Structure 1
Amino acid sequence: MSDLQMPLSPQFPRAASARSERAKAPEPPVRILALETSCDETAAAVIDDGRFIRSNVVASQIDLHAAYGGVFPEMASRAHVEAIGAVIARAMKEAEAGWESVNAVAVTRGPGLPGSLVVGVNAAKGICLARGLPLIGVNHLEGHIYSHWLETALPAGQPAWSFPLITLIVSGGHTELVLMRGHGDYELLGHTVDDAAGEAFDKVARLLGLPYPGGPAIERLSQTGNPNAFRFARPKISPRRRTEGAHSGLPRPYRDQALYDFSFSGAKTNALNLTRELGAQAAARAADVAASFQSAVVEWLVEKTLLAARDFDARAVLVGGGVSANRLLRQRMALAAEAARLPVSFPPLALCVDNAAMIGAAAYQAFLRGERDGLALDVSPELKLGA
Structure 2
Amino acid sequence: MPDILAFDTSNYTTSTALFRDRKIYQQKHLLPVKKGELGLRQSDAVFHHVQQLPDLLEELLRQTPLQDLKAVGCSTRPRTQPGSYMPCFTVGHGAARQTAACFGVPLHTFSHQQGHIAAALWSAGRLDLFERPFLAFHVSGGTTEAVLTQPGTEEPFTVTLLAQSLDLKGGQAVDRVGRMLGLPFPAGPELEKLAAQSQVQFRIHPSMKGADCSLSGIENKCLKMQSDGRPAADTAKYCLCSLLAALDAMAAALLKEHPGLPLVFAGGVMANQFIRKALTEKYGACFAEPAFSADNAAGVAVLTACREGLL
Structure 1 counterpart of 2:185: 212
1:94 to 52, 63, 66: 63
SS at match of 1:293: helix
The size of the alignment, in residue pairs, is: 299
TM-score, normalised relative to structure 1 = 0.71
Q: By how many angstroms is 1:315 displaced?
A: 4.0
Contact in 2 for aligned 1:166/1:314 (Cα 8 Å): no
1:131 to 103, 109, 112: 103
1:350 is aligned to 2:291: yes
Q: By how many angstroms is 1:97 displaced?
A: 1.8
1:122 to 89, 94, 97: 94
Alignment of 1:279-298 (within 5 A): 281-282=229-230, 285-298=231-244
Q: By how many angstroms is 1:349 displaced?
A: 1.0
SS at match of 1:65: coil
In the alignment, the residues of structure 2 paired with residue 357 and residue 122 of structure 1 have an alpha-carbon distance, to the nearest angstrom, of 18
Alignment of 1:132-151 (within 5 A): 132-150=104-122
Contact in 2 for aligned 1:38/1:116 (Cα 8 Å): yes
TM-score, normalised relative to structure 2 = 0.87
1:221 to 185, 190, 194: 194
Which segments of 5 or more consecutive residues in structure 2 lack a partner in the other structure? 79-83
In the alignment, the residues of structure 2 paired with residue 302 and residue 85 of structure 1 have an alpha-carbon distance, to the nearest angstrom, of 41
Q: Alpha carbons of 1:326 and 1:210: their partners in 2 closer, same or farther (altered >3 Å)?
A: same
Contact in 2 for aligned 1:176/1:191 (Cα 8 Å): yes
In the alignment, the residues of structure 2 paired with residue 134 and residue 47 of structure 1 have an alpha-carbon distance, to the nearest angstrom, of 15
Higher strand content, 1 or 2:
2
Q: Alpha carbons of 1:354 and 1:224: their partners in 2 closer, same or farther (altered >3 Å)?
A: same
Task: Say what the alpha-carbon RMSD is for the aligned residues.
Answer: 2.4
Structure 2 counterpart of 1:202: 175
Contact in 2 for aligned 1:318/1:346 (Cα 8 Å): yes
Cα displacement string for residues 249-291 of structure 1 (whole angstroms, at most 9, x for unaligned residues): xxxxxxxxxx321211122122223333x1xx24xx2211221
What is the percentage of aligned positions where both structures have the same residue? Answer: 26
In the alignment, the residues of structure 1 paired with residue 248 and residue 214 of structure 2 have an alpha-carbon distance, to the nearest angstrom, of 14
Which segments of 5 or more consecutive residues in structure 1 lack a partner in the other structure? 1-27, 238-258, 338-342, 369-387
Q: Alpha carbons of 1:90 and 1:173: their partners in 2 closer, same or farther (altered >3 Å)?
A: same
SS at match of 1:210: coil
In the alignment, the residues of structure 2 paired with residue 142 and residue 309 of structure 1 have an alpha-carbon distance, to the nearest angstrom, of 21
Letter in 1 for 2:10: S
Letter in 2 for 1:313: P
SS at match of 2:147: strand
Q: By how many angstroms is 1:367 displaced?
A: 4.3
Structure 1 counterpart of 2:33: 65
SS at match of 1:57: strand
Alignment of 1:219-368 (within 5 A): 219-228=192-201, 233-237=205-209, 259-276=210-227, 278=228, 281-282=229-230, 285-337=231-283, 343-367=284-308
